[in-house]
Amino acid sequence: MSRQPFIAGNWKLNLGPEDASKVSAELVQALAGHRDVTVAIFPTALSIPSVVRAVAGSEIGVGMQEIESVASGAFTGGNSAVMARAAGCTYALVGHSERRQLWGETDARCGDKVAFALASGLLPILCVGETLAERRAGRVEEVVTRQLEAGLSAIAPDQVAAVTLAYEPVWAIGTGETASPDQAQAVHATLRAWLRAGHGDVADDIRIQYGGSVKPGNAKELLACPDIDGALVGGASLRAESFAGIVAAATA
């Protein structure tokens, strides 16, 4: 079992084309030496062309923060996975908690989007995670396994290995409050056990990122946990120096 660490930067609605290009170019320089870590950045859709140009020739992948589960049509404001692939994207986030909370993204739609991402040639990162109220009510396992089951429900068993998971406790996103390594590891182990029960040894290959206030200062401790295979980084990914610091923690 050897899972290469996967560090992804979710830029959310930040860094327009010019700033995105500048940070991407800085990242290419800063990460030139890192070979054993998968790295991807998720710019806002409008910045994707400039980021794709800036990282060309490097090992840095680019992804969409959100996709529709259709290729094209009357979907005002939507983003197409097929077009994202044509624009140079490799990955797509699915089910980020901000999409679930602010846009009412349902478990079922996340399942459709995982399937459509794969059908379009994009590798999905399926995000799961509980709210603070759900944690306090002792419902963490129930919530994350429900989200996981729905997220994988529309794909064939042999496609599961192509999915990356991100465990992002909602109460730790953008709050500066990180899950402790023990708290995060416990949920990652639960997710992997669920995968093993339903999908066998593929559970050993699937990477499970942790997300929620990951910074250079806490990344090493989190990434040292046996079932934490990377990070999905928001705020600390907006500057090349701090994002590179997290990639360095994954290399160490």
- Tally Cβ neighbours within 10 Å of residue 135: 18
Does position 232 interact with ligand PGA (CB under 6 A)? The reply is: yes
The size of the chain, in residues, is 252
Closest CA relative to residue 7, chosen from 27, 45, 37, 47: 37
Is 96 part of the annotated catalytic residue set? Answer: yes
174 binds ligand PGA (CB under 6 A): yes
The least CB distance from residue 204 to ligand PGA, in Å, is: 25
**Total of chain residues touching ligand PGA, rule CB under 6 A:** 13
Distance of alpha carbon 29 from alpha carbon 58, whole angstroms? 9
In the region spanning residues 192 to 211, those forming contacts with ligand PGA, defined by CB under 6 A, are 211
Distance (Å, whole) CA 34 – CA 32:
6
For position 247 contacting ligand PGA by CB under 6 A, the verdict is no
Please return the burial class of 252, using the count of CB atoms within 10 Å of its CB with bins 0-12, 13-18 and 19+.
exposed
- Interacting span for ligand PGA (CB under 6 A) from 17-25, 139-147, 190-198, 232-240: 232-240
Which residue is catalytic, options 68, 96, 130, 188? Answer: 96
Amino acid at 81: A
142-171: which residues touch ligand PGA (CB under 6 A)?
A: 168
Query: Which residues carry out catalysis?
Result: 96, 168
Q: Point out which residues bind ligand PGA (CB under 6 A).
A: 10, 168, 173-174, 211-214, 232-236
